[in-house]
Amino acid sequence: YQRRVRGFCFVGFSTLSMTDQSFEGQQNELESDELLEDTSKESIEISITDTEKSGEGMNAFITYTVKTKTNNHPIWGTQSLCAIRRYSDFIWLRDGLKTEFKSVIIPALPEKSMMNLVPEFIEERRIELERFLRRVVHHSQLVDSVHTKMFLESTKELKKLEIKPPVDPKQPASPKGFFSSFTQKVSTINQLVASPVENDDWYSDNKEYLRLLEQTLGSFSDKVSLTLKRLKEFSENWDELSVASIELAKQECSKDKSLENIFDKFGVVCSETGASINETADKQNYQFTYTIKDLKRTVGSVKEVLANRDALLLKLQNAEKNRDSKKLKLEKDPSKSNLQNEAAEAEKQKDSAQEAFNDFSKDCKIEIEKFLSTKNKEFSLSLKRLIQANLSHDLKVLDSWRSFLQTLGDLRDV
Amino acid sequence: MFEVSQQEAQKVLFEEEPFQKDEENEENENIKNTSLSQIIEDVEGTIIVSITNTEKHGEGMNAFVTYSINTKCIDDPILGTKDINANRRYSDFVWLHDTLKTQYKGVIIPPLPEKNLINRFSPDVIDYRKSELERFLKRVLTHPKLVSSPHVLAFLENGELQKAPEDIATKSKGFFSTLTEKVTNINIGTVVETDEWFTDIKEYIKGLDLQLNNFYNKTTSLTKKRKEFVQIWEDFSQGATEYANVEIEKDKMLHRLFDKLGEITHQISSLHNETVEREVSQFESSLKDYIRTTAAVKDVLTNRDNALLKYQAAEKTLEQKKQKSEKNASASKASAIQTEVNEAEKQKDTAKAQFEEITRECKEEIDKFLKTKNKEITDALRDLVQTNMNHELRVLDLWKELLQLIEESPIS
């Protein structure tokens, strides 16, 4: 039973979508916690079911099998789709969505990596790409994009497809498109500013906040990753001690049965401890590290939207400058009709730039506020999982040591 | 009666906490000492030895540490009743150890801590040494044979230690060592073990030594890794707190949660520090002690092997002399050869007696070792378990604190 979120809604960036059996239980837990809208029988299910390494050496790459199953979907109806995609195809999709929906925070993709394609890395990537797609199709605007449709359906090479950007009804039709470069025909008297001056407190405040957020999340994520690495090494140490203990037990076999028993049991304790540490480290990785990295990437996506707004702001401010200079000219020579026309035209341009900017800012704000509230929910949920993983580890280990203590205690009476 | 009292003393001594060095409150120490001795006054023949102080002397290359040893004897059959003090340095302990090794070849001599060239004067190392040396003395004094050595008394009374050159020569080299004794007999070959019990024990000790060292190495790897976590969790804590501070205006709830996460991970870091310290000072040192004792057992077996070699060589010599006597019929040489035979016979008898004596002593000692080693290693493991359980319990409580905070916070 899948749920679909309607409306302009930035869906949580942490729907832990693992197809790994061992995490199924946790996944269900998460979904029950998330307050997604309960909708009717419309559904879309996406999964990356397979990964395959192709090519050799320098030219090697991974392909991902993307399977889509829909049920009474407004776009696809009820059908099954399958497409083989590689990482660059995902980039193609994201770039397309970025261009089409400038005020929407587009879900983030995992970074391009030159790293050797080891199984752990491939699995991690598969999960993250899957998560990306699920977010895209659960976003009411993004799912509608022709890029999305092509990505899920098309058997042709995506890069070769020619996709016309949709006409934005809010923007005046201009031959170059609204987001054409800032190289407007501006009088050389007016100096073009390189970057806009932020005049909105809410935005300047949040820009700074997002900058700091990205920075600290980056360093925090590094520290968490290092912790997990060391934990895995620690579990190996316990395993080795376990083996050594069992060897020692064998040695005592002939002379001291009780010591043999003790070292055997100690070997068990050590190996159970090591296994639990390993398992917890994995859980922490899936829950916590992913969440932090993901959040950081999403901040990057937010910054993209802010950059789009900045571009409009710049345009607006340049239009204002232009209008002001034209006005000035007219004031000096009010009778000239061509100056009157230019001034009027400049005013019109400034007005439309203003409108575009205001609308965009409004949409943007909604997106960012949704992001902030979702962040709270996702991050605290993730933290809760972290705590639970550690608690269950501690309890398990305590049990193990306790039963060993009993073995030692029984001996005291002998 | 004597045996029992020594055992009781041993029990008391081993369960005692090592004395805390406290220069300002030596009074308290003396009181503690006295009350302890008062408790065991009823038991005849008790000896309480303790290292009460350590002091560094000199500077640079010539610097060394002295240990102040206090020995209280109460009605001891050998040492009587006295309260003696001595100041000894590490090399003096080595002298005592090696002297006892030469004197009592069939006795498992309690081991000494290793000579340490690095960090000799750090308080931790000195502390560790102090407790190991104290343990050494306690063991010597509770051994019925070793306690009666005049060298022990001289050591404890601050008397002069006869450091003769040959005392340095007899250093144990281990099980497969070549002969360390100077033997002129050309019939020395490799030892042929005749006693199945000893063949068995040699195998056992050899394997035990190997596995113990492996076990010890894996233990030190583990504690070394745990030490790393002190810094790792501290860094984690810093990261969490840093992030918490970014959220201080925008998201008070996340700020509180991650601030708390920073707090508990900081405490987890400290816990690891505490735990590893205890693991090293208790478990690791007990293991190391066990390994040293096993090496001491090997020394004793080597001594017996040497005695056996001597005996077997003497037998061969006697055989050769006897054959020589049979071959030679001439009267002139007959008496000379007979003397040689008699001499060889005497030497063989002496070697045999020595061998049998050391074998008996050896067996007794090893039996005792097999019985008692169980207890020490079990105690060490028990302490390790409790240390680890304590650690986990406290970590558990910390995570619970954070869980409670989350559960109290509304998730919008």
Cβ contact B225–A395 (<8 Å): no
Distances (CA, A) of B328 to B188, B333, B337: 25, 8, 9
Q: Least CB-CB distance to B239: which of A220, A240, A380?
A: A220
Confidence at residue A260, expressed as pLDDT on a 0 to 100 scale: 92
The continuous run of DSSP H or E covering B348 comes out as: helix B331-408
Greater model confidence, A197 or B329: A197
Contact B212/A at CB under 8 A = yes
Give the minimum alpha-carbon distance from A259 to chain B in angstroms, rounded to a whole number. Answer: 7
Closest-approach residue (CA) in chain B for A232: B225
**Minimum mean pLDDT among B15-19, B299-303, B319-323: which range?**
B15-19
Sign of CA dihedral B137, B142, B144, B148: positive
The continuous run of DSSP H or E covering A261 comes out as: helix A257-284
Nearest to B256 by CA among B236, B241, B234, B275: B241
Amino acid at B171: K
CB contacts of A383 in chain B (<8 Å) are: 257-258, 261, 402, 406
Inter-residue long-range contacts of A1-4, CB under 8 Å, 24+ positions, other chains counted = A1/A43, A2/A43, A2/A44, A2/A45, A3/A36, A3/A37, A3/A38, A3/A39, A3/A43, A4/A37, A4/A39, A4/A42, A4/A43, A4/A44, A4/A138
Mean pLDDT across B343-353: 92
Cβ contact A258–B374 (<8 Å): yes
CB contacts of A220 in chain B (<8 Å) are: 239-240, 242-243
Burial of A114 (0-12, 13-18, 19+ CB in 10 A): exposed
Confidence at residue A42, expressed as pLDDT on a 0 to 100 scale: 67
Confidence at residue B184, expressed as pLDDT on a 0 to 100 scale: 53
Distances (CA, A) of A231 to A125, A278, A281, A285, B327: 22, 7, 6, 11, 79
Confidence at residue A56, expressed as pLDDT on a 0 to 100 scale: 78
CB contacts of B239 in chain A (<8 Å) are: 216, 219-220, 222-224
**Minimum mean pLDDT among B9-13, B46-50, B390-394: which range?**
B9-13
**Minimum mean pLDDT among A260-274, B175-189, B305-319, B331-345: which range?**
B175-189
- Is the pLDDT confidence value at B349 over 90? yes
Mean pLDDT across A147-173: 71
Model confidence at B160, in pLDDT bands (50, 70, 90)? confident
Nearest to A224 by CA among A408, A4, A6, A382: A382
Closest-approach residue (CA) in chain B for A235: B222
Cβ contact B392–A209 (<8 Å): no
Cβ contact A233–B212 (<8 Å): no
Indicate the SS3 state at residue B203: helix
Q: B205 CB contacts (<8 Å, ≥6 apart)?
A: B175, B294, B297, B298, B301
**Which tokens belong to B154?**
């001289």
DSSP string, B14-57: HHSPPPPP-GGGHHHHHHHHHHHHHHGGGSSSEEEEEEEEEEEE
CB contacts of B411 in chain A (<8 Å) are: 33, 376-377, 380-381
Q: Least CB-CB distance to A216: which of B218, B232, B243?
A: B243
> What is the C-alpha to C-alpha distance for residues B101 and B104, in angstroms, rounded to an integer?
5
- Is the pLDDT confidence value at B161 over 90? no
Give the minimum alpha-carbon distance from A296 to chain B in angstroms, rounded to a whole number. Answer: 12
Q: Which residue in the block uniquely carries the two structure tokens 């869980």?
A: B403
Contact B230/A at CB under 8 A = no
Cβ contact B215–A391 (<8 Å): no
The torsion of the CA quartet B93, B97, B102, B106, rounded to 10 degrees, works out to 160
Mean pLDDT across B162-183: 47
**Which tokens belong to A44?**
């879309």
Closest-approach residue (CA) in chain A for B377: A259
Give the minimum alpha-carbon distance from A179 to chain B in angstroms, rounded to a whole number. Answer: 32
Distances (CA, A) of B325 to A69, B277, B331, B341: 107, 71, 11, 8
Strands B64-76 and B46-57: antiparallel
Model confidence at B256, in pLDDT bands (50, 70, 90)? very high
CB contacts of A228 in chain B (<8 Å) are: none
> What is the C-alpha to C-alpha distance for residues B314 and A354, in angstroms, rounded to an integer?
115
CB contacts of B235 in chain A (<8 Å) are: 223, 226-227
Confidence at residue B60, expressed as pLDDT on a 0 to 100 scale: 79
Confidence at residue B137, expressed as pLDDT on a 0 to 100 scale: 94
Cβ contact B381–A387 (<8 Å): no
- Is the pLDDT confidence value at A31 over 50? no
> What is the C-alpha to C-alpha distance for residues B73 and B44, in angstroms, rounded to an integer?
10
Greater model confidence, A161 or B326: B326
In the β-sheet with A77-86, what is the strand arrangement from edge to edge? A43-54, A61-73, A77-86
Distances (CA, A) of B404 to A227, A291, B393, B409: 24, 21, 16, 9
> What is the C-alpha to C-alpha distance for residues B349 and B186, in angstroms, rounded to an integer?
18
Confidence at residue A173, expressed as pLDDT on a 0 to 100 scale: 38
Confidence at residue A24, expressed as pLDDT on a 0 to 100 scale: 35
Burial of A197 (0-12, 13-18, 19+ CB in 10 A): exposed
Q: Which residue in the block uniquely carries the two structure tokens 């302009």?
A: A8
On whether the CB atoms of residues A141 and A104 are closer than 8 A, the answer is yes
Confidence at residue B209, expressed as pLDDT on a 0 to 100 scale: 94
CB contacts of B200 in chain A (<8 Å) are: 254
E strands in A32-172: 43-54, 61-73, 77-86
Confidence at residue A228, expressed as pLDDT on a 0 to 100 scale: 94
Nearest to B84 by CA among B158, B162, B160: B158
Q: What is the largest CA-CA distance in chain A?
A: 118
- Is the pLDDT confidence value at B228 over 90? yes
Confidence at residue B321, expressed as pLDDT on a 0 to 100 scale: 86
**Minimum mean pLDDT among A14-18, A61-65, A325-329, B76-80: which range?**
A14-18
Give the minimum alpha-carbon distance from A351 to chain B in angstroms, rounded to a whole number. Answer: 33
Confidence at residue A6, expressed as pLDDT on a 0 to 100 scale: 35
Mean pLDDT across A194-204: 87
- Is the pLDDT confidence value at B180 over 60? no
The torsion of the CA quartet A243, A245, A251, A253, rounded to 10 degrees, works out to -110
Model confidence at A37, in pLDDT bands (50, 70, 90)? very low
State which of A106-120, A155-169, B345-359 shows the largest mean pLDDT: B345-359
On whether the CB atoms of residues A359 and B395 are closer than 8 A, the answer is no
Mean pLDDT across A270-275: 97
What are the phi and psi torsion angles at A232 (to 5°)? Answer: -65, -40
Cβ contact A245–B403 (<8 Å): no
- Is the pLDDT confidence value at B35 over 80? no
> What is the C-alpha to C-alpha distance for residues A130 and A137, in angstroms, rounded to an integer?
11
CB contacts of B233 in chain A (<8 Å) are: 227
Model confidence at B287, in pLDDT bands (50, 70, 90)? very high
Mutating which of A204, A255, A387 best tests the B interface, going by the most B Cβ atoms within 10 A?
A387
**DSSP tag of B81:** E
Size of interface A-B (CB pairs under 8 A): 153
Contact B371/A at CB under 8 A = no
What are the phi and psi torsion angles at B217 (to 5°)? Answer: -60, -40
CB contacts of B211 in chain A (<8 Å) are: 244, 247-248, 250-251
Mutating which of A392, A401, A402, A414 best tests the B interface, going by the most B Cβ atoms within 10 A?
A401
**DSSP tag of A159:** G
Mean pLDDT across A325-329: 89
- Is the pLDDT confidence value at A17 over 80? no
3-state SS of B255-323? HHHHHHHHHHHHHHHHHHHHHHHHHHHHHHHHHHHHHHHHHHHHHHHHHHHHHHHHHHHHHHHHHHHHH
Model confidence at B117, in pLDDT bands (50, 70, 90)? low
Confidence at residue B36, expressed as pLDDT on a 0 to 100 scale: 46
Greater model confidence, B372 or A185: B372
Confidence at residue B187, expressed as pLDDT on a 0 to 100 scale: 64
- Is the pLDDT confidence value at A39 over 50? no
Model confidence at B411, in pLDDT bands (50, 70, 90)? low
- Is the pLDDT confidence value at B361 over 70? yes
Closest-approach residue (CA) in chain A for B412: A377
**Minimum mean pLDDT among A301-305, A406-410, B6-10: which range?**
B6-10
Contact B248/A at CB under 8 A = no
Query: Per residue in B63-75, pLDDT tens?
Result: 888 999 999 888 8
Mutating which of B392, B400, B404 best tests the A interface, going by the most A Cβ atoms within 10 A?
B392
- Is the pLDDT confidence value at B39 over 80? no
Mean pLDDT across B297-303: 94
- Is the pLDDT confidence value at A332 over 60? yes
DSSP string, A286-314: IIIIHHHHHHHHHHHHHHHHHHHHHHHHH
Mean pLDDT across A253-276: 93
State which of A8-12, B2-6, B125-129, B280-284 shows the largest mean pLDDT: B280-284
CB contacts of B370 in chain A (<8 Å) are: 255-256
> What is the C-alpha to C-alpha distance for residues B131 and B137, in angstroms, rounded to an integer?
10
Q: B93 CB contacts (<8 Å, ≥6 apart)?
A: B112, B133, B136
- Is the pLDDT confidence value at B26 over 70? no
Q: A81 CB contacts (<8 Å, ≥6 apart)?
A: A66, A67, A68, A69, A70, A152, A153
